[in-house]
Structure 1
């Protein structure tokens, strides 16, 4: 039907029929009053000028520094593989999903990820509750700028010792370091060392649970389990191997819970007494958890997810943090000290495609539509509240991308 139709004859009673989109006709005794309310346009009114949040200045520190960045969990389930297949035109390509964080990740002196699933070169792939994902994830991890990954997780043995070995092979092929799972006892006894800006850094990785499974007694070395004794001994060995900085990654916590549970808190307090450990990065809850300074040690209980798509996606499991820790040499020659901790919020876009969003970079972009900008701003506010929930406000820890 056209937007306006008029009868061609006088008709009974001299009535005139009108059907006009955007017109309201009000009959009154004195005549007919017409109000024009305008046509709806699909584009809607123009968005107001974007209120960008500029990228903050880098942390200022005197002398030589080392920046270590850890990102949240990489948990590639079925929807993530499907997106990779679409992005690759039928061949798995996971790099476009992570590309939004590449600038920040690659700028760190040492960038570490947490790989939460086994990998395999060929299918069938599965998950959840038992995961195995395409080996192309490893190449995307390298392309994004990560130097290494923690591989000790509750799902590390979902495909048994063979699946564990295939995962490490895929990371080796992509030239990505790894810590926490091992193909041999000899490998498990050697700490993973990196050189970051000329400084040796050890990365130790552990998990509290194994998806309901148990390690065979003859292979109890294949996945590093998080106990106070093991962390203490491994950190000591790392120092003896030449590490100037020792960072620990732990898969722990109650899923979907923003507060650290009792097991997390007890182990965190034990690790905080260890002279050989400098900082703890936590994973496993799949939501952001607080940062807490215990004595002179920083425990970052939960970084959330970096890349995932849960069966029931909600704000909590789409939000994460990249934690960037800046070390500088002690003024009294007493080793490397934490000078700054920065939480860089991330978000997982699901539409029109799955994409990791570096929220600081996104909110500095005036081209981000107003509606999406509001979603990102709300995510930053929630992430900030979780990170600062255990007394970290007013310390050397800062949450970036906020309005302040």
Structure 2
């Protein structure tokens, strides 16, 4: 999505969503956080980030973790005037400021597909019924989620994950149909109608062509009879060969590798993650950005044997879900610049805006943690796992964008 200077939606969600609201359950914090201002100027003294991002002439990429719409969130969306877009609205301006934004769609978005791969036709306005569109253990999201993600600023969708086969081969096909209809590039799965389609996608921005390649560690034991999901370890030779080919292609300026891997709820990468990450970087990936553990895992700088600089972000956790423990409701929008290096564009060490999923009387929202009740808990958690030096405040974003961020009408 083309970069724009933000007049952010609800600089303080507190002023319009939180003020005077009561918690719905013990997992929801009560009270209003401090520091609400109508505008944050670009020169705000509270700007603290120690890493540069949004450099002039760079291609700035943003990445978020799992879009995991449990049945509770599907019901929340069904109760909102604009469906899933309402849940995403507080973060939409911060997704849109990057040149390219990628998200992991953690499950099918397959119109009218039942568990087991059968069909039941529902009226299009029904966002969830608990059967066709339902949550754990066999997810399926109403395909309007795809257009709402696009309209919220997401440009590329990762479809390779352990829930990709939750609605069988038809579920994969229908999900890709929804993405294609929305004009959203995707990576990691392919339709039965195109068995030789590439696993990767290539997106242009600012004159550069960026390739994205996703894979999953498994499909939760569900059969994949038509090889519709690229698997990180079973298909490792193909994964690495694809990265090498893309890196060597003169028309490709950078390769971003998106593995779905690791152990759920564990904050440290395992040996297989570390090994595959290094192999992918040596094969030519500019950056490795992981998902699946539902919690954050560290970011490490990498220098390859041919001198390229890059990084591995082992897990971005849950971008949005209804898992309420602090590590599972806390995540970040990761931003990094791609700048020219000796062998194409190189990924600079990223900065990250902490986010938090919070439940209010008016609904559940993912929002910048600064704007959330008890958001400081999430900011502290992000800093502990990812490192303090990359944490972005809203004031940082205003400064780096060179334009004040104001509440609507500010």
For Structure 1 versus Structure 2, the TM-score category normalised by the shorter chain is 0.7 to 0.9
Distance 1:48 1:355 in 2: 16
Query: In the TM superposition, what is the alpha-carbon distance from 1:47 to its structure 2 partner?
Result: 8.2
Structure 1 stretch displaced more, 225-234 or 168-177: 225-234
Distance 2:218 2:301 in 1: 25
1:324 matched to which residue of 2? 335
1:305 matched to which residue of 2? 318
Distance 2:53 2:73 in 1: 38
1:282 matched to which residue of 2? 290
| RMSD, aligned CA | 2.7
| CA 137–226 in structure 1, closer or farther in 2 if over 3 Å, else same | same
Write out per-residue CA displacement over residues 153-182 of structure 1, whole angstroms, 9 at most, x where no aligned residue.
000001100001111111112221111010
Q: Which of these residues, 106, 111, 114, is aligned with residue 116 of structure 1? A: 106
**SS at the partner of 1:225?**
coil
Query: In the TM superposition, what is the alpha-carbon distance from 1:194 to its structure 2 partner?
Result: 0.3
1:50 aligns with 2:35: yes
Higher relative contact order, structure no. (Cα contacts within 8 Å, ≥ 6 residues apart):
2
Distance 2:287 2:365 in 1: 29
1:95 aligns with 2:85: yes
1:145 aligns with 2:158: no
1:244 matched to which residue of 2? 253
Are 2:339 and 2:345, in contact at CA under 8 Å, matched by a contact in 1? yes
1:206 aligns with 2:219: no
Write out per-residue CA displacement over residues 126-171 of structure 1, whole angstroms, 9 at most, x where no aligned residue.
2211111111110111110111110000000011000011111111
Write out per-residue CA displacement over residues 340-398 of structure 1, whole angstroms, 9 at most, x where no aligned residue.
411211110112221011225x2xxxxx7xxx2xx11121011111113xxxx7xxx61
1:226 aligns with 2:232: yes
2:122 matched to which residue of 1? none
1:7 matched to which residue of 2? none
Are 2:156 and 2:186, in contact at CA under 8 Å, matched by a contact in 1? yes
| CA 380–273 in structure 1, closer or farther in 2 if over 3 Å, else same | same
1:174 matched to which residue of 2? 182
Are 2:53 and 2:60, in contact at CA under 8 Å, matched by a contact in 1? no
The number of residues matched between the two structures is 332
1:293 aligns with 2:301: yes
Query: In the TM superposition, what is the alpha-carbon distance from 1:231 to its structure 2 partner?
Result: 2.3
Distance 2:207 2:48 in 1: 26
Distance 2:136 2:85 in 1: 22
Which runs of structure 2 are paired with 1:3-402 in the superposition (5 Å)? 50=35, 54=46, 59=52, 64-88=57-81, 93-122=83-112, 124-184=132-192, 185-189=194-198, 191-216=200-225, 219-220=226-227, 222-227=228-233, 228-239=236-247, 240=249, 242-274=251-283, 276-295=284-303, 296-310=309-323, 313-330=324-341, 334-352=343-361, 353-360=363-370, 362=371, 372=373, 375-388=374-387, 398-401=390-393
| CA 77–398 in structure 1, closer or farther in 2 if over 3 Å, else same | same
Are 1:258 and 1:288, in contact at CA under 8 Å, matched by a contact in 2? yes
Are 1:327 and 1:340, in contact at CA under 8 Å, matched by a contact in 2? no
Are 2:338 and 2:348, in contact at CA under 8 Å, matched by a contact in 1? yes
Larger Rg: 1
Distance 2:141 2:347 in 1: 36
1:12 matched to which residue of 2? none
Unpaired runs of at least 5, structure 2: 1-19, 22-30, 38-44, 113-130, 304-308, 397-410
Distance 1:211 1:49 in 2: 43
**SS at the partner of 1:283?**
coil
Are 1:347 and 1:376, in contact at CA under 8 Å, matched by a contact in 2? yes
Query: In the TM superposition, what is the alpha-carbon distance from 1:402 to its structure 2 partner?
Result: 9.6
| CA 132–241 in structure 1, closer or farther in 2 if over 3 Å, else same | farther
| CA 354–183 in structure 1, closer or farther in 2 if over 3 Å, else same | same
Distance 2:53 2:152 in 1: 25
Are 2:188 and 2:199, in contact at CA under 8 Å, matched by a contact in 1? no
Unpaired runs of at least 5, structure 1: 1-41, 363-367
Distance 1:181 1:129 in 2: 20
